[in-house]
Structure 1
Amino acid sequence: MERLVFWLRRVGLPALLFALLAVSPVVAHQHEPHTPQQQQTETAPAPAPGDEPVMTMPWPTEPVMTEHDERPTTFSGRLLRWLGGWHSAAVHFPIALLLTVAFLELMATVRRKPIYTASNKLLLGIAVIGAFVAAPLGWINAGLPAADDASALVLHRWIGTALPFLMLFVWWLKPNAEAAAAGRNGPLYAIALSVVAAAILAQAYLGAEVTHGAGHMAF
């Protein structure tokens, strides 16, 4: 018994003092005022897995606004707005056909098989019809030119107006199926097709810039 009392005196007293020193800062901290930010930090639970906030990347700039952004109140206005909405769908058809023609002409040159281009005059004819449908729908969709139109919209409007006539010129230069299969394409046709294909690509980029804003293709 005396031995137990001896060890309690030697070990217990320092242990008690150490416990008091360890508890005293906690007790003192409980009486300090807490700021709202500290309370939120101390009481906010940790987010569960999968609940982390998702960061979204906004568009670099806002899309170009036109006079047709406000919903019209008249029947004729709603009809024109509805027709103009078909421009985005109609314009892809002639673009795809003309680029297909350019691709077939390139393959015929590379592989030296003019037969690849035998049906290109027909494809160009369908593309021209589609372009003469898509261009007026674009005018309906964008409205009449205004002084405050963005440069992308101005370029898109007038390149799109000229493209149907340029495509018609390319169709006229393209020989018929028999001559095309024999490889009798003139050099002017190749130059005109290359120019129109480049204009089509530039027009597609400008159309996307009008719809999605500048920098839409930024990496």
Structure 2
Amino acid sequence: MAKKIFPLVSGLLALTGIIASLLLSAPPAMAHKNQSSSSASAVAEASTTVNNPEDAPMAMAWPTEPGMGMEMDHKKPKTFGGRLVSWLGAWHPAVIHFPIALLLTVALLEVLAAARKKPVYNAGNKVLLAFATAGGFAAAALGWANAGLPAADDGTALTWHRWIGTLIPFVYLLLWRLKRPAETAVNQPSSRLYETTLVVAVALILIQAYLGGDVTHGAGHMAF
């Protein structure tokens, strides 16, 4: 039992740790230049106008407000096509949770099947991966609609989030291709290549989730 589970868990932890350490050691993601300058000028103006700390309002702006960490500040398009793309992109945060949950469920079932030595637990994972793949491609397309085309002033987190998010659906597709059909998987354990790809996919999902929070809520959003 331990021989089957240990490579999955240790490989996932090692890969996640390496990628996370590289991202965390990099400089914090910068917001768009115009947002950074406007935020800095607003802070400077506030510091000069408030002389007594007791007179300052006890209000805190959300991190998602303009100039408070968001890397994307969308202006409403004027054309119908532009507004349609913008509206579709707004669905990205909702749709992305569907393929993420399916992949993590697949990984959990694979670990459970290895621990109990019962391949029947993960026999239906090919069907789950099919839905996850379809949802992954939909979420990636909506992500491009939400973020727009790459720009020179895109922050580090947004750039990594964009391209990792573009890669992940193809990793899902590879997993679906490697997973044996239910009739075969019910009696045979998963292949090593499939297990390795699954570990990589879960690690990418965890890193992508962190980057998504970094883009939405600003650098250091997971600080304790």
TM-score (norm 1): 0.71
Q: String of CA shifts for 1:150-186, please: whole Å, max 9, x gaps.
A: 0000000000001111110011000010221113311
Which has the larger Rg? 1
Instruction: Return the match for 1:64 from 60, 70, 74.
Output: 70
2:88 corresponds to 1:88: no
CA deviation after TM superposition for structure 1 residue 214, in Å: 1.1
SS at match of 2:87: helix
The Cα shift of 1:148 comes to: 0.8
Q: Report whether the alignment pairs 1:126 with 2:131.
A: yes
From the superposition, tell whether residues 113 and 101 of structure 1 become closer, same or farther in structure 2 (CA, over 3 Å).
same
The 5 Å alignment of 1:5-44 reads none
8 Å CA contact 1:175, 1:184 repeated in 2: no
Q: 1:209 aligns with which of 192, 211, 214?
A: 214
Q: Residues 190 and 208 from structure 1, CA distance in 2 versus in 1: closer, same or farther, beyond 3 angstroms?
A: same
**1: distance between equivalents of 2:147 and 2:136?**
16
Partners of 1:132 and 1:185 in 2: how far apart?
25
2:163 is aligned, of 158, 163, 172, to 158
Secondary structure of 2:151's aligned partner: coil
Q: What is the letter of the counterpart of residue 68 of structure 2?
A: E
Counterpart code for 1:148: D
Superposition map of 1:62-211 within 5 A: 62-66=68-72, 69-211=74-216
Q: Which has the higher contact order (CA 8 A, sep 6+)?
A: 2
Q: What is the count of residue pairs matched by the alignment? A: 166
How far is 1:205 from its partner? 1.1
- Write the distance in 1 (CA, Å) between the matches of 2:140 and 2:70: 18
> Quick one: percent identity of the two aligned structures?
55
1:64–1:150 Cα contact (<8 Å) kept? no
Amino acid at match of 1:96: A
Normalising by structure 2, report the TM-score: 0.69
The corresponding residue for 1:29 is none
Give me the whole-angstrom Cα distance separating, in 2, the residues matched to 1:168 and 1:148.
32
Letter in 1 for 2:175: V
Q: Is the 8 A contact 2:98 2:132 kept in 1?
A: yes
SS of 1:185 mapped into structure 2: coil
Q: State the alpha-carbon separation in 1 of the partners of residues 110 and 144 from structure 2.
A: 32
Contact 1:81–1:141 under 8 Å retained in 2: yes
Structure 1 contact 84–140 (Cα < 8 Å) conserved: yes
Contact 1:97 1:124 in 2 (8 A): yes
